Amino acid sequence: MIIALLTTAAAVQTLRKPPTLRSPSPKWPPPDADPQAKWYASDAGPLGRLVDLACESAFRRSLAREAGGDDNTPGFEGIINLAQKLVAVEPRSAAATRVRARGVLRGLFPDWPPTLPSVEQPGLLWWFTQLFAKPFPEFSAKLNAKVTWAAGGWLMGPLELRDLEETPEVGDGANQLVYVKRCRFLEQSGCASVCVNACKFPTQDLFNGDMGVPMRIEPDYETLSCSFKFGLAPSVDDEIDALATPCFSACPSGGALRAEHQQCPDVADTSTSLFLEQLTDEQRGLVIERLHSSLYTKK
């Protein structure tokens, strides 16, 4: 155990050196993005335009609270500005950004019905875990997939409800995959750090930690598609791939957020990531080592 901790500490110190990041992706949007799956402001999801606008308004208010205020930019552009602002609030800590982004998602749920003072989750999430996720895990996985498909189009673009190809940990896999054809949020933000730290990790932590529903997000940066896999918990390899994503050519900060965040040192901070809390010290050291070899190149 002591040797593992010393190895992890040494790796962290090495990673704190100024990085040389991989070359950014050459084109944006990527040529393999589905041209028929672009979402326009006039489009509507399965629940209708009015429900989409209500969801967008609630999300924006919660996002503004965590980002330190709204800049009043109208429409979806304002959402993207706030997301970029959220990432920039903690310019030296990707882990702190993930905590704030998880707070955005938690803020969408009322703190009701009442719970015990020791409970950290909002009331509705805690009661969902107790009354649905624990006694009915398969039903809860399928329900959350259905709700995400029905209510998430305005944020992520056209969605499809599909069957999982893998064998899930919960459920039979039928209708447990929400497939994002061309992510609107990713395309318009143009930022790997926003995608990973303000969407993927905090969303996974919300479902897995606050709601008790296993869920894994797998973005595809070559096509701008993304898979929300309900019934499957995050894997080590998938998380490493996400953290090792190079900056995009369209990044509005020119890669500055990624360089400032220096995400690898934050991997050692197990207090801010549900995924990392579940690793042993030895596994965590291996994660850092693999991230070091995949994210950085020698000068």
- Give 261's pLDDT tier (boundaries 50, 70, 90): very low
pLDDT for 93: 76
CA angle 228, 57, 152 (to 5 degrees): 20
pLDDT for 281: 64
Q: Residue 220 above 80 pLDDT?
A: yes
**pLDDT tens per residue, range 151-190:** 999 999 999 999 999 999 999 999 999 999 999 999 999 9
3-state SS of the chain is CHHHHHHHHHHHHHHCCCCCECCCECCCCCCCCCHHHCCCCCCCCCCCHHHHHHHHHHHHHHHHHHHCCCCCCCHHHHHHHHHHHHHHHCCCCHHHHHHHHHHHHHCCCCCCCCCCCCCCCCHHHHHHHHHHHCCCHHHHHHHHHHHHHHHCHHHHCCEEEECCCCCCCCCCCCCCEEEECCCHHHHHHCCHHHHHHHHHHHHHHHHHHHCCCCEEEEEECCCCEEEEEECCCCCHHHHHHHHCCCCECCCCCCCHHHHHHCHHHHHCCCCCCHHHHCCCHHHHHHHHHHHHHHHECCC
Q: Mean pLDDT throughout 49-57?
A: 97
Q: Residue 12 above 60 pLDDT?
A: no
Query: Which of 87-96, 109-118, 225-234 has the least mean pLDDT?
Result: 87-96
List the beta bridge partners of residue 218.
227
Q: Residue 297 above 50 pLDDT?
A: no
pLDDT for 188: 95
